[in-house]
């Protein structure tokens, strides 16, 4: 039974179709984005519990282009897919960059975004679709993502701006502007031009932002069509009472330790300050966990 739900949005004169409900139904969120006959699937999965002992967000973004997307299969000496190509690695980083900062502060659950090219028509590039598909999948999930975002590429041919140009159009273009953003502000801008005035660049960015807003509305519409309520993400506020108390107890000692020139001596003194502070705080707050102290001392 086909339970696919789709939303169409025009990016310039190109139609984008964002769909969900058919692939990767056991993922936290999954969506496909299609332009022409190029189709890209993004599936998002996450652990139920945060990973202990880390002070960073464990997000992994993968992007793969399998031979079958172009109707081919490995043969001859190499009968399996190889390691990611430079294009795949760069597209994964390109997808990660605008998405990573938009997760809730302090979120430590492992998250994987796996983007796979299902069909390549050789006409439309897929790097922009990778960002949009990842945003759509995250929007359909219940992960604390402050999205959605949209992404477009802007080209300029004979002084005319073109949104999401084809590969053939890009060969004639003297501008390659990649723009990703939310409804209010851009979150990633990169690209280059043969030569462009400041006024033309601003005009291209304004045009790109208007297209991004349309993509954002389409993703929210898709979530509603899937029967899901509007997602509300609340930023978690950190309790700084432990940090304030630690500063009152050991701020001067820590400052003195950091002024030690020798690396080994400095590290030894910092370890001693940390051990002493942990003992004193444990006497005041017996409920304090090792992870709470580690996170507080890192902020200290």
Higher-scoring residue by pLDDT: 252, 58: 58
Q: Is 64 part of any domain?
A: yes
Residues 12 and 76 placed together within one structural domain of the fold? yes
pLDDT of residue 218: 97
d(Cα 163, Cα 166) in Å, to the nearest integer? 9
Residues 220 and 281 placed together within one structural domain of the fold? no
Instruction: Determine the 3-state secondary structure of 100 from DSSP.
Output: helix
Residue 20 backbone dihedrals phi, psi, to 5 degrees = -155, 165
Give the mean model confidence (pLDDT) for residues 113-119: 96
Q: Is 204 part of any domain?
A: no
pLDDT of residue 288: 83
Domains in the chain, number? 2
Is the pLDDT at 71 greater than 90? The verdict is no
| Residue 124's pLDDT band (cuts 50, 70, 90) | very high
Q: What is the pLDDT of residues 248-271, one digit of tens each?
A: 888 888 888 889 999 999 999 999
Residues 114 and 262 placed together within one structural domain of the fold? no
Give the mean model confidence (pLDDT) for residues 71-85: 73
Long-range contacts of range 233-242, CB-CB < 8 Å, 24 or more positions apart?
233/104, 233/144, 233/145, 233/146, 234/104, 235/104, 235/105, 236/104, 236/105, 236/106, 236/107, 238/105, 238/106, 242/281, 242/285, 242/288, 242/292, 242/296
For the chain, what is the mean pLDDT? 91
Q: What is the pLDDT of residues 186-217, one digit of tens each?
A: 999 999 999 899 999 999 999 999 999 999 99
Last residue of a domain, one of 196, 225, 254: 225
Q: Is 195 part of any domain?
A: no
Residues 119 and 254 placed together within one structural domain of the fold? no
Residues 220 and 259 placed together within one structural domain of the fold? no
Is the pLDDT at 1 greater than 60? The verdict is no
Q: What is the pLDDT of residues 269-296, one digit of tens each?
A: 999 988 988 888 888 888 888 877 887 8
Residues 89 and 40 placed together within one structural domain of the fold? yes
pLDDT of residue 249: 85
Last residue of a domain, one of 173, 197, 225: 225
Domain range for 279 = 241-299
Residues 138 and 270 placed together within one structural domain of the fold? no
Is the pLDDT at 136 greater than 60? The verdict is yes
Residues 245 and 102 placed together within one structural domain of the fold? no
Q: Is 22 part of any domain?
A: yes
Q: What is the pLDDT of residues 162-191, one digit of tens each?
A: 999 999 999 999 999 999 999 999 999 999
pLDDT of residue 248: 84
Cis peptide before 128 (omega within 30 of 0): no
CATH number where 107 lies: 3.30.230.70
Is the pLDDT at 76 greater than 70? The verdict is no
């Amino acid at each position: 039974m086909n339970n696919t739900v789709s939303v169409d949005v025009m990016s310039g004169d190109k139609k984008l179709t964002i769909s969900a409900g058919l692939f990767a139904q056991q993922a936290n969120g999954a969506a496909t984005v299609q332009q022409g006959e190029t189709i890209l699937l993004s599936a998002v999965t996450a652990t139920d519990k945060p990973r202990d002992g880390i002070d960073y967000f464990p997000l992994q973004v993968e992007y793969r282009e399998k031979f079958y997307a172009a109707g081919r299969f490995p043969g001859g000496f190499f009968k399996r897919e190889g390691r990611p190509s430079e294009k795949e690695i760069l597209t994964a980083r390109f997808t990660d960059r605008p998405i990573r900062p938009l997760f809730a502060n302090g979120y430590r659950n492992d998250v994987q975004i796996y983007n796979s090219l299902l069909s390549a028509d050789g006409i439309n590039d897929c790097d922009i679709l990778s960002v949009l598909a990842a945003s759509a999948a995250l929007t359909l999930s219940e992960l604390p993502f402050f999205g959605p975002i949209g992404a477009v590429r802007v080209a300029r041919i004979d002084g005319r701006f073109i949104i999401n140009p084809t590969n053939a159009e890009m060969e004639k273009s003297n501008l390659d502007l990649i723009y990703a953003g939310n409804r209010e502000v851009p979150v990633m801008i990169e690209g280059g031009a043969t030569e462009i005035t400041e006024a033309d660049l601003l005009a291209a960015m304004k045009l790109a932002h208007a297209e991004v807003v349309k993509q954002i509305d389409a993703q929210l519409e898709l979530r509603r069509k899937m029967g899901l309520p509007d997602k509300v993400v609340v930023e978690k506020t950190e309790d700084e009472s432990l940090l304030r108390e630690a500063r009152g107890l050991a701020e001067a000692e820590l400052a003195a330790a950091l002024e030690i020139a020798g690396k080994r001596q400095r590290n030894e003194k910092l370890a001693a300050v940390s051990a002493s502070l942990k003992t004193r705080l444990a006497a005041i707050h017996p409920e304090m966990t090792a992870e709470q102290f580690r996170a507080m001392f890192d902020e200290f």
